[in-house]
Amino acid sequence: MTRPQLDNATARRLFLHRHQLGQTPAGPGKGADLLALIEQLGFVQVDSVNTLARAHDMILYARRPAYRPAHLSRLIERDRSLFEHWTHDASVIPTAYLPHWRLRFQRDAARLRGRWPRWQGEAFLAELQQVRDHVTAHGEVCSADLKAAEAEKSTGWWDWHPSKAALEYLWRSGELAISRRKGFRKYYDLTERVLGWPDQPPEAETLDWLMAGALDRLGFATPGELAAFWDIATPAEAKDWTQRALDAGQVEEIEIAGHDGKLRRSIARPGMAAAAATLPPAPPRLRVLSPFDPALRDRARAQRLFGFHYRIEIFVPAPRRIYGYYVFPLLEGERMVGRIDMKAERDSGTLAVTRLWPERGIRFGQGRIARLEAELTRVARFAGLEQIRFAPDWLADPK
């Protein structure tokens, strides 16, 4: 039996539409519209790096130019329609998904119980109940509230004081929820006081929800990619689900062409190849993406589809960096066309562009530079900056 195939151009188009980058960026970017966008994506990664704007804000802005950070805070802190927890990393997640997240809480708790006491020692175990009791009696806290005055300032996760480790454990295991942030500092309270405490579905129901939801947001996937999407199910569970779904006719095997023409066997909903052929092209607008954009989160998948090799170099010593500390990918239409090193100089209200590297075969002529400048003007305005400054040698030679 011949499997359906998606050529590379159609696969890219489908992938971008499923990641809400195949449409013209428009909409109010707040309230029900913003919540619907995050539900369509599944979650949005939260990151503290703020060289220009925080990752979650850049992700949402790329799809909704009217979005502003206060719109997200309102959904989290007032409406409680979003909550913060873990997928592959810290993320904001629709609260409607909380019943299924109880499986995540259980699995994280079991994993961390085996690891953190060895790391933190008896002090951690003793602190755990004290933190529970304190939050129950006094309400929301941040780690600074619990830290002993004489303790030295933490230098990172490896040097967390016991109460910080206890807060993180109780959050990861679901006993506490993040009630708000001040700056980027997290405040915690009992989950039932912040979000309520819904009944937990049977494990099989949650696993089916996770796998089906991942597939519908990706468009096509391997079992490993399904497991990695929410990072809750194991690869073995994803493989078992895939086989059951194939047997039941809920999915079919499909061949996906990479940028190099090589075919990769995946699964998709029946008829996906025909449906993908009817999708409209992505708008030609040039967009700055966050390094943590959902479309690029799976670096290997992005490289297969777009031929775009991206690695973030925050933790790479400066002399060994190929590009820069925090370099932003550039999407134009359905192609990755380059990456740009820039940062906000807030004292002078300037977006300082250090360097742009075109992708192989991409030329930044007058028209493309004009589109880039228009996008940078929009991004600078979003970040609260008044002007753009380009370094003298900002445009690298094309490869």
When comparing pLDDT for 124 and 102, which is higher? 102
On the question of pLDDT at 157 being above 60, the answer is: no
What is the rounded average pLDDT of the residues 202-223?
98
* Cα 70 from Cα 184, distance rounded (Å): 13
- pLDDT bucket at 162, cuts 50 / 70 / 90: low
What is the rounded average pLDDT of the residues 220-243?
98
Can you name the CATH fold of 286-390? Aminopeptidase (3.40.630)
Q: Is-contact 379 288, C-beta < 8 A?
A: yes
Q: Where in the chain is the domain with CATH 1.10.10?
A: 95-148+157-195
pLDDT in tens, 304-361: 999 999 999 998 998 999 998 999 999 999 999 999 999 999 999 999 999 999 999 9
* Cα 131 from Cα 129, distance rounded (Å): 5
Nearest C-alpha neighbor of 23 from the set 351, 331, 363, 389: 331
Give the pLDDT of residue 48.
Answer: 86
* Cα 364 from Cα 390, distance rounded (Å): 15
Q: Which CATH class is domain 95-148+157-195?
A: mainly alpha
Phi-psi map region of 286: left, alpha, beta (phi>0 left; psi -120 to 50 alpha):
beta
On the question of pLDDT at 30 being above 80, the answer is: yes
Q: Is-contact 221 227, C-beta < 8 A?
A: no
In a 10 Å sphere around its CB, with 0-12 CB exposed, 13-18 middle and 19+ buried, how is residue 260 labelled? Answer: exposed
Q: Where in the chain is the domain with CATH 3.40.630?
A: 286-390
First to last CA, the chain: 42
On the question of pLDDT at 122 being above 80, the answer is: no
* Cα 163 from Cα 3, distance rounded (Å): 55
Give CA separation, 275 vs 113, 272, 301, 325, in Å: 46, 5, 21, 40
Phi-psi map region of 174: left, alpha, beta (phi>0 left; psi -120 to 50 alpha):
left
On the question of pLDDT at 160 being above 60, the answer is: no
Q: Is-contact 298 225, C-beta < 8 A?
A: yes
Return mean pLDDT, the chain: 92
On the question of pLDDT at 158 being above 60, the answer is: no
Angle at Cα 17 formed by Cα 11 and Cα 22, nearest 5°?
105
Nearest C-alpha neighbor of 237 from the set 246, 245, 227, 229: 227
What is the rounded average pLDDT of the residues 184-204?
94
The predicted model scores a pTM of 0.93
Give the pLDDT of residue 145.
Answer: 81
- Residue 189: strand, helix, or coil: strand
